[in-house]
Structure 1
Amino acid sequence: MTTTNVARLLKQSDIPFDLLSYPVDEQDLSAQNVARKINYPLSSIFKTLVLETDAHQYVFAVISGEEEVSLKAVARAVSAKKTHLVPMKDLKQLTGYIRGGVAPIGAKKPFPVLLSHSALNQEFIIISAGKRGLQVKLAPDDFLRFTNGIVFMNR
């Protein structure tokens, strides 16, 4: 199985994880589709969104596949007035990742990581391994510790 920067970095840090692979459907990169393909509940699939604040700070918001991101909640969490999603065309240049493969680990630059409070109810979370078709399953506490992440109320 292909390894990624995400898997390498977690392994180097002795963070326990499982690498899950699935066939990619370029027409449907949704968390729902990933959940179906790897046979895990949608509540355990976490998507990584890249946002920019009014102060031009970037941040990763990692939220459950069941959630929509609250721009106001992200802004509050990073003490900004406003945030907006980074346009898809800018993702690769900014993070080194493409849509459907954005990970909060191993990006070009280490942006602050926000993790939705819903992750705390999970035994494990499943995030992108940095490549379409690969996911990493790990404990929320390990994820927070590794990324120096902050839990935020996504509402």
Structure 2
Amino acid sequence: MTPAIETLKKLNIQFDVLSYQHEVNNTHYGMEAVEKLNLNSAQVFKTLVLETHEQALIVALTSVDEQVNLKQLAKLYKAKKLTLADAKKVHASTGYVLGGVSPLGQKKRLKTFIHKRALNFTTIYVSAGRRGLEVALSPNDLGRAIDATFAEF
């Protein structure tokens, strides 16, 4: 049981858990989930932890087949610049390791943005907090659970 799954249970949110055997040498975590679980890549969302020029951390969720427009997201957050956060900072803040970072059940709640294309689906998939583990849930339920902002970036 991961903190992400515990959070969903505590909030009484409907979800399904999907698991697969993670290949240790595979660092394309989201695409690995797509391939091993035979999912639509547009519905599988990666959780990126980003750092502002002032060293604040934020979270962005976008489908694994898309890139985050850092300039657009920085503008939404009213930051000068965003970069990917260092793995140690990600772990310290979220409690998760890269490839298993879930937007749910993080140690510290970070401001979170979900790309609005998630709303095109009744179900999306996000990390359940461990490599090889995904949760399927409604994007609206996810947004409410983590107090996220849906936006284009």
| 1:6 counterpart (4, 22, 30) | 4
Give the drift of 1:90.
2.9
Q: Tell me, yes or no, if the aligned pair for 1:123 and 1:140 is still in contact at 8 Å.
A: yes
Aligned pairs for 1:91-110 (under 5 A) are 91-110=90-109
Report if the CA contact (8 A) 1:73-1:152 is conserved. no
Residues in 1 aligned to 2:72 and 2:18: alpha-carbon distance in whole angstroms:
30
Q: How far does residue 81 in structure 1 lie from its aligned partner after superposition?
A: 1.4
Corresponding residue of 1:20: 18
TM-score (norm 1): 0.93
Say whether residues 1:137 and 2:136 are aligned partners: yes
Q: Quick one: percent identity of the two aligned structures?
A: 37
SS in 2 for 1:67: coil
1:8, CA displacement in angstroms?
Answer: 0.9
Distance 2:6 2:88 in 1: 26
Please name the residue that 1:81 is paired with. Answer: 80
Q: How many residues align?
A: 152
Unaligned runs of 5+ in 2: none
What is the letter of the counterpart of residue 32 of structure 1?
M
| Partner SS for 2:101 | coil
Deviation at 1:56, TM superposition (A): 2.2
Stretches (4+) displaced over 3 A = none
Does the aligned pair in 1 maintain the 2:16–2:136 contact within 8 Å? yes
**Distance in 2 (alpha carbons) for counterparts of 1:44 and 1:29:** 19
- Is contact 2:6–2:105 with CA below 8 Å preserved after alignment? no
SS state at 2:48 partner = strand
Unpaired segments ≥5 residues, structure 1: none
Give the secondary-structure state (helix, strand or coil) at the position aligned to 1:92: helix
- 1:44-86, Cα deviation, whole Å (9 max, x unpaired): 1100000011222210101101111111122112111111110
Contact 1:35 1:42 in 2 (8 A): yes
Q: Establish whether residue 48 from structure 1 lines up as the match of residue 47 from structure 2.
A: yes
TM-score (norm 2): 0.94
CA RMSD after TM alignment: 1.1
1:122 Cα offset (Å)? 1.4
The 1-side partners of 2:33 and 2:7 are apart by: 23
CA–CA separation in structure 2 for the residues paired with 1:152 and 1:86: 21
- Cα-to-partner distance string for 1:116-154 (whole Å, 9 max, x where unaligned): 111111121100001111101000000111111001212
